[in-house]
Amino acid sequence: MQKTARAVLVVEDDEPTCALLSAIVTRNGFVPVEARDGKVALTLLDAAFFDAVLLDLLLPEISGVEILAHLHARTPDVLKRVVVVTAALEPEWLTRMEVQRARCVIRKPFNVEDLEREMLACCEAKIPR
């Protein structure tokens, strides 16, 4: 797995939200790497290390829940660096075991300071690469 230079994977299909998340990542001194669907996100996650992952649940191709299940099966330590950022309101999405394994869930619309705090905690965590 290739190590990226202080990078955060932003997995978001909504263009304005993706741009906002990427701007937050950049403002905090990290390089945003964008994935607009779950298939691209899985390819990136299998190929490189990211200091944090900002993950939407409702994605085209492969859902965020499927991505979390994949990570749990292949690289469970990565789940400690995943911040789920979602507009999903249905309890069945948010109470799924896959979602509960992520570091945290932040609901849209989100407070920028809360998101930054959780993202930075992921980036500072002593988790194997």
Distance CA 69, CA 76 (A): 9
Six-digit token pair at 55? 């993950």
Six-digit token pair at 102? 């992520």
Mean pLDDT in the chain?
90
Domain locations along the chain:
2-124
What does the pLDDT read at residue 47?
Answer: 94
Average pLDDT of span 81-99: 83
Distance CA 40, CA 32 (A): 14
Cβ pair 55, 67 in contact under 8 A: yes
Output the CATH code of domain 2-124: 3.40.50.2300
At 8-38, the pLDDT tens digits run 999 999 999 999 999 999 999 999 999 999 9
**Cis peptide bond prior to 128, omega within 30° of 0:** no
Six-digit token pair at 72? 């749990």
Cβ pair 49, 70 in contact under 8 A: no
Is beta strand 31-35 parallel, antiparallel or unpaired with respect to 7-11? Answer: parallel
pLDDT surpassing 60 at residue 102: yes
What does the pLDDT read at residue 28?
Answer: 95
Is beta strand 2-3 parallel, antiparallel or unpaired with respect to 7-11? Answer: unpaired
